[in-house]
Structure 1
Amino acid sequence: MKTLRIAALAAGVLLAMSQLTPAQAVTSPGLTGGGRHGPKYQWDLKPTGSASQFRGLAAVSADVAWVAGSAGQVLRTTDGGKTWQNVSPAGQTLLFRDVEAFDAKRAVILAIGPGEDSRIFRTSDGGKTWAESFRNTDPNAFYDCLDFNDQRHGLALSDPVDGKFRIAETSDGGQSWQVQSTKGMPAALPGEFAFAASGTCLVAGPGRTAWFATGGGDRPRVFRTSDGGRNWKVTDSPMASGAAAGIFSLAFRGPLLGVAVGGDFEKPTEAVKAASVTNDGGRSWKLVPADKAPKGYRSGSAFVPRTLATVIAVGPSGSDVSYDGGRSWTQFYDGSFDSVECAGHGSSAACWASGAKGAVARLAVKR
């Protein structure tokens, strides 16, 4: 079993759900950054009162966000992080690694693990109740991440079974899931898998497009589909790969401009071939030179709303911003986050980050 999973499973057993209390939003000092090419950014911390590690994150707007993490915990805010509600599924101690939310009421969460530990739940009442909509029954499958093209169509990704990555598909907003045939899936490399690090190893784009990224083998790769996951094409990446290395996160601005970030999670302060960019929808990837790449391993990435090509990347050793679609990066924060997601329109647009020890923050701009 890959190292990240072993560490995550162990952490899930050791971490207990803490009592949640309303918390005043705090802006930590010394988190500002930026450059001559764009605005300065800082993380505005939003204390949750939780000790869980939140790798699952869904940004809906500046007011609404969901986080999902260890010990079966799911939290929701509807007031910009001033207060958080514990909306965890009753009686669950699963490792939640991804959450996708359509609004303040409707959300889908993914639990990871071998066999029946990989499950999907859905709520339509703000987390008051949850319905299990998918349970993996194949002991060789291990689901890592999921995403939606729209409010009905979504995909969930499993590591290879019988030599091929596996896709589950929904066309009713996550109420039901069907495992697709692997006839249109290229064969996996020896040792190849996806990383369940931030919920962005698979991302859905416009129409029925989607991409997922890998590591673990002798080279990382990016798979892409244009027909809702039935047929896939794959491209080698120039980034580094290994037992704990590869591409951990993808982000796309439309159908063509994309960014991949990663590295080796066992070496969080090193960034060896840890970022790449595409301008043709993932058909080819160009490595970001070391002097322009993020300063360490990065597990999450997202394009900033209302910008043409501004991207944020986060990891345990810091956060970076790129104003040029991922071709060059500047670190603006040296604290730890695992995930970053952006969403919303106009004044409601926002980027959120989440990570260990209950950490959640919202991106603030200082011009």
Structure 2
Amino acid sequence: MRLLGVGMLAAALMLGPAVAPARAHSGEAREGGGAPDASGAGELRELSGVGWALKETGKDARFRGLAAVSRTTAWVAGSKGTVLRTVDGGRHWHDVSPPAAAADALELRDIEAFDARRAVALSIGEGETSRVLRTEDGGRTWTEAFRNTDPRAFYDCLTFFDSRHGLAVSDPVDGRFRVLSTDDGGRSWSVLPDAGMPEALQGEAGFAASGQCLVSSGPRDVWLATGGGTVARILHSADRGRTWRAAESGIPAGDPARGVFALAFRDRTTGLAVGGDYRTGQPSPLAAAVSADAGRNWSPSATPPPAYRSGAAWLPHTRSAALAVGPTGTDVTGDGGRTWRALEPGSFDTVDCTPDGSCWAAGEKGRVGRLERR
């Protein structure tokens, strides 16, 4: 189960320089501290002519894993062991699927990339179908860095703090979420002690829907989103996963299909949570929340997205603008997640933005888009 002035946002989305970040995308620090703008009207005005430009991949896989490196470079990972990479802004996609993953039709639900050559991908499932794969040559060759041998474990998401330190999380084993750790860029992994992990609720698990149930910001902070239990919780660690503190998100749970599906932190204090009920046609009220204190407390969005959302990302170089995506469309906030409004319809599962001012999204039937001025 990442400071341009606000008036330059649209230009940054279209014309930002192709500068590859030094660290994996989900753990990068965002610029611009302080509280989000209360109205966000200026930032939303900059999005009035912006939308998703689809980038033909030639594949029909469902891409729930996305690692956006820059305006030109992105990786996607998905069903049937498929991994694609572009280095020209999506005009061409290279099939760099790991042969073993493709042969076993693994579900690749998360991918983290450091640049155009180095990436780490996670496959999900019970027992040995949960694996971590790594490439250092743009996907020409892959190494299996971890294979789960515990039939009780089911890995959902991974994240990196920097190019060396990262974590992956499994659904609870023996009543606690299990956490894997690497300090060599994903070459080797070890299970962390669970003494600092709170006990899981009955039925509680993570959702492997977008690669965003485990996210990090800065060198040590990481958050884990849950659902399926009586309440949907968000767990926070400030020491790279050794000790955790749980908080209720306020997003409805109480069912295996409901809870928090994605998190996004602009910095180590300011966060968003989105989710709902992933079943088609089921209502998803109050399916977004915000935190201003590193996830110790969460407040429901006054106007949440109208339906289930599985992915979220802060728009680059803004203080209060963010995106949320799901099967029924994309929503945008200009006030740090307090209120959301529709940007456009169309199905995406996950979204990611980069330091050079670009945003990418990916989803079903090989669908990939980049946010551009129309």
How does 1:188-207 map onto structure 2 within 5 Å?
A: 188-207=200-219
For 1:43, the aligned partner's letter is W
Q: Structure 1 residue 226 and structure 2 residue 233: aligned?
A: no
Of 122, 147, 152, the match for 1:110: 122
Contact preservation (8 Å) 1:269, 1:317:
no
Corresponding residue number in structure 1 for 2:55: 46
Corresponding residue number in structure 1 for 2:157: 145
Of 316, 333, 345, the match for 1:322: 333
Contact preservation (8 Å) 2:326, 2:349:
yes
Q: Structure 1 residue 363 and structure 2 residue 374: aligned?
A: no
Contact preservation (8 Å) 1:269, 1:295:
no
Contact preservation (8 Å) 1:220, 1:240:
yes
Corresponding residue number in structure 1 for 2:268: 255
Deviation string for 1:89-133 (max 9, x for gaps)?
A: 013221000000000000000000000100000000000000000
The Cα shift of 1:268 comes to 5.3
The Cα shift of 1:269 comes to 6.6
Give the distance between the partners of 1:212 and 1:357, measured in 2 at CA. Answer: 28
For 1:106, the aligned partner's letter is R
The Cα shift of 1:309 comes to 1.5
Deviation string for 1:247-284 (max 9, x for gaps)?
A: 00000011111000000000457331200000001000
Corresponding residue number in structure 2 for 1:353: 361
The 3-state SS of whatever aligns with 1:71 is helix
The 3-state SS of whatever aligns with 2:128 is helix
The Cα shift of 1:365 comes to 3.8
The 3-state SS of whatever aligns with 1:362 is strand
For 2:45, the aligned partner's letter is G
For 2:343, the aligned partner's letter is F
For 1:353, the aligned partner's letter is A
Give the distance between the partners of 2:216 and 2:249, measured in 1 at CA. Answer: 19
For 1:77, the aligned partner's letter is T
Give the distance between the partners of 1:170 and 1:199, measured in 2 at CA. Answer: 17
For 1:288, the aligned partner's letter is S
Give the distance between the partners of 2:140 and 2:219, measured in 1 at CA. Answer: 31
Deviation string for 1:200-220 (max 9, x for gaps)?
A: 000011121100110001100
The Cα shift of 1:243 comes to 1.7
Contact preservation (8 Å) 2:285, 2:306:
no
Corresponding residue number in structure 2 for 1:55: 64
Of 72, 87, 102, the match for 2:81: 72
Per the alignment, do residues 268 and 66 of structure 1 end up closer, same or farther by CA in structure 2, a change over 3 Å counting?
Answer: farther
Scaled by the length of structure 1, the TM-score of the pair is: 0.88
For the aligned residue pairs, the C-alpha RMSD in angstroms reads 1.3
Corresponding residue number in structure 2 for 1:334: 345
Corresponding residue number in structure 1 for 2:315: 304
For 1:38, the aligned partner's letter is R
Give the distance between the partners of 2:340 and 2:41, measured in 1 at CA. Answer: 10
For 1:258, the aligned partner's letter is G
- Between the aligned residues of both structures, percent identity stands at 53
Give the distance between the partners of 1:91 and 1:175, measured in 2 at CA. Answer: 17
- The runs of at least 4 consecutive aligned structure 1 residues that moved more than 4 Å come to none
The Cα shift of 1:35 comes to 6.7
